[in-house]
Amino acid sequence: MKQKKMLSTAVAVTLIGSLVAGCSSGGGNAANTPAASQAPGNSTSTPAPVSNVKQEIKMNLVTEPEALDVSKQTSVGAADVINALMDGLYRLDKDGKITMGVAKAAPKISADGLVYTIDLNPDAKWTDGVPVKAQDFVYSFRRTAAKETAAQYGFMMEWLKGGADIQAGKAQPDTLGVKALSDTQLEITLDSPKSFFTNILAFPTFLPQREDIVTKYGEKNGADADKLITNGPFKLTSWTHDQSMVLEKSENYWDAANVNLTKVTLTMVADNGTELNLYETKELDYATVQGDNIALYKGKPDLVSRPEVGNWYIQYQNKDHPVFSNANIRKAMALSIDRQALVDVVLKDGSLPATGLIPNGTLDGNGQDFRKLNGDVMPPFDAAKAKDYLAKGMAELKLTAFPKVKLTTSDNTRAKKILEFLISQWKTNLGIDIDPEPMPGKARIEKMHSKNFDLVLAGWSADYNDASTFLDMWYEGSPFNDVNYNSAAFTKNVLESQKETDLAKRSKLMLDAEKQLIEDMPIGPLYFSARKYLVRPNVEGMFLPPLAIEFEIKWAKIK
């Protein structure tokens, strides 16, 4: 059976407090977001007084997102836009807590923890005025679970009864543990109790979808402004590909009284210099700031920190590759990079050199910091040792010259600077030439998922705070295993950790899995990421969560 990543009940305690944990502002104008409670609160509050200030905001998305398809989206950029356009059963509020979305109350959970009965808000509507119905969630969950959809986040449907068999192609989607008891009542049945489940219903994978719209547009669903329908605070009124999107307040949104912004313009400017010029000329109200430019804003109220739970790494195509199928050459590539210099000289944003796969602050599911438990498992920068690994690998492959290979990256400013640094490191420390291949972010993601690459610069932002969100990507058969890593020992540890209910044993399995991955080096960890943003001080109510999405603008307003 083709395995997908799963979480055992053991993760419950971790996720309750960490799925929606917020971040503090580096500049004083982003809302603090305390940890979420399991029981959702009521998001309906007294509407803010009407302001004479124009309630419009301009933000830079950096790169074009893939199609805004709930079942198929995987990038943070797509999730950011979808979050603004859609409401799930629950969502994160301005305080970082789970609050009402389409659901009008917390779920009623059966005594055995398996059955969730959720009453829907009858006032929830799609942008065309049609009520959001329980069947829209049933259809969405089934579509995501269906093997033919090939949804990378389909593994989440394995938490529902029958989901694993559907993902494996052994059962039909209509056997999934979800059904509409009426237009306004949804019932979800799990395969085993998961106390984190209420919280994770705020995740984009659990959004509703309209069957008539998906059927009408087929493979083009969500690919253009006129090929999707939404039910959230904003509606997409314009999408000029690779240039901009325009979102406008949805008059049919059930909580429209608490949405202040009337228009959101999202640009797609990859060059950070151009982006900052737009910010300085007040053509943007939200922008990324990178490298040397960060120092220009030190001490200013605009500068905001977003402490990500994320990592960046080099993916080596392991399977049948003329050089990267060899572990010693992969180790040579990884050890020849001065990771400290990368974060100090190139990034300058608070990112830290990777000391393993799992970033700092990630929990082990047993209440401990995973990184502190496993220590520094990533070997340090060592040019001499890297040369030894290279020589050994070349001999094993019977090569006398290093073949031509390409490093694929996105074409934004940050990625291009990393690209230049890595190519220089390999030339200086190994004496090999790597060809640069920058491209638009959307194209880079497509190339990566097609597994048609030599080397690719990639990153992962945690979906939830547990080491499994990083480890489950790389076992044999995982839909995220773009490098074709096939370690039996690693896969065994990860799959066993998914089923293990003893927290200490589960933690040990994951610790061992990381050590195995570093020993094999199918990917080369580079740094644990942090980001700096500029947010105009008159923007209130917008916050930057460290997990899943980059920004929440439902409650944003211009003062």
Q: How many domains does the chain have?
A: 2
Q: What is the pTM of this model?
A: 0.79
pLDDT of residue 354: 98
Per-residue confidence (pLDDT) for residue 503, from 0 to 100: 87
Residue ranges for the chain with pLDDT beneath 70? 1-51, 94-96, 195
CATH number at residue 90: 3.40.190.10
Query: What is residue 123's predicted lDDT score, i.e. its pLDDT?
Result: 98
β-sheet with 435-439: strand ranges across: 352-353, 523-528, 310-316, 455-461, 406-410, 435-439
Q: Which two tokens stand for residue 25?
A: 């502002």
Please report the beta strands in 285-366, taking only residues with DSSP state E, as ranges in sequence order. Answer: 286-288, 303-306, 310-316, 352-353
Asked whether the beta carbons of 525 and 64 are under 8 A apart, the reply is no
Q: What is the pLDDT of residue 216?
A: 97
For residue 277, the number of C-alpha atoms closer than 13 Å in the C-beta half-sphere is 6
**Residue 96 CB coordination number (10 Å):** 21
Amino acid 96: pLDDT: 59
Check residue 52 and give its pLDDT.
84
Q: Based on the fold, state whether residues 20 and 111 are members of the same structural domain.
A: yes
Amino acid 2: pLDDT:
29
**What are the pLDDT digits (tens) for 75-91?**
889 999 999 999 999 98
Query: How confident is the model at residue 51, as a pLDDT?
Result: 63
Q: Are residues 399 and 476 in the same domain?
A: yes
Question: Which CATH number do you get for residue 330?
Answer: 3.10.105.10
pLDDT at position 47, please? 55
End-to-end CA distance of the chain: 55
Residue 333 lies inside a defined structural domain of this protein: yes
Q: Give me the residues paired with residue 286 across strands.
A: 59, 535
- What lies within 8 Å, CB to CB, of 376 at 6+ separation is 355, 356
Which of 541, 294, 271, 226 lies closest to 417 in space, CA to CA?
A: 271
The answer to whether residue 347 sits within a structural domain is yes
For 535, the domain range is: 9-267+531-558
411 occurs within a structural domain: yes
